[in-house]
Structure 1
Amino acid sequence: MRILLICGALLSFLGVAAGAFGAHGLRPILSENMMGAYETGVRYHLVHALAMLVAGLSAHSFNHPVFIRAGWSFFVGIGIFSGSLYVMSLSGIRSLGMLTPLGGIAFLIGWVWLAWGFWSSTEMKNSEGSLS
């Protein structure tokens, strides 16, 4: 889980850097459509990098392996979803957009695993103010 937290923190850093690069370096040279795709990649990158941190901290707190699966699913999603949008925006190769939904599926799987982890966590069920 330590590596998951490190990756989540580094991906958060890279998401901020990608956003700044887009706002200050790419806006003048990309078409409006490609800039929109790039910004979508950044937005999902940042949200899911933070979700990786939540998953890693939850794995540590609740000792449930499904949180690790959720975190790595977010990692894969960032690589495929955001990565395909970044490369498509910068290269103009629109066919890379066909990969984007696969990353979206990885994100969705991660959210389901995260929810399942919270739902099935013994520590949460036994704690005061539980979700049930």
Structure 2
Amino acid sequence: MTSRSMLIFAAISGFVYVAFGAFGAHVLSKSLGTAEMAWIQTGLNYQSIHTIAVLALAAVMQRRSNLWFYWSSACLALGTVLFSGSLYCLALSDLKLWVFVTPVGGMFFLLGWILMLVGALRLRKKAERHE
């Protein structure tokens, strides 16, 4: 995932976040139950946070190439699709199999944050070597 593709993902994810959030608030809230709306809200919360994280990684990658940030952004993007997407599908369909997809997305979130930490720690080590 290049910084360009990270920016594209962030733009699409941000658009979907705003559009689906508005659709949920104005249309779905009239037909879905409390549990389903809570799943949508949780999906939106995680999507917004991880979209901003991917956007931040894209900005960093514009200045310096970092394989750890590359894989971090890929995991965060995949986590967003799997975690938030499965919650949206769970709320909008009768298929309960989506409950098995959600934790997989959560694992990709965790992996993405760990990879970001490793990448950040390695940035510090590189800076110290150049002094």
Scaled by the length of structure 1, what TM-score is found? 0.88
Equivalent positions of 1:36-51 (< 5 A) are 36-51=38-53
Equivalent positions of 1:4-83 (< 5 A) are 4-83=6-85
Distance 2:25 2:62 in 1: 36
Distance 1:46 1:92 in 2: 25
RMSD: 1.6
Give the gaps of 5 or more residues in structure 2.
Answer: none
The Cα offsets for residues 14-50 of structure 1, whole Å up to 9 and x where unpaired, read as 1111111111111010010011011111111111111
Give the gaps of 5 or more residues in structure 1.
Answer: 127-132
Scaled by the length of structure 2, what TM-score is found? 0.89
Distance 1:122 1:63 in 2: 14
Report how many residues are paired.
126
Distance 1:59 1:7 in 2: 14
The answer for the alignment partner of 2:119 in structure 1 is 117
Percent of pairs with identical residues:
33
The letter for the 1-side match of 2:31 is: I
User: How many Å apart are 1:3 and its aligned residue?
Assistant: 1.2
More displaced 10-residue stretch of structure 1: 32-41 or 53-62: 53-62
The Cα offsets for residues 62-112 of structure 1, whole Å up to 9 and x where unpaired, read as 321111111111110011101111111001322211110000000011111
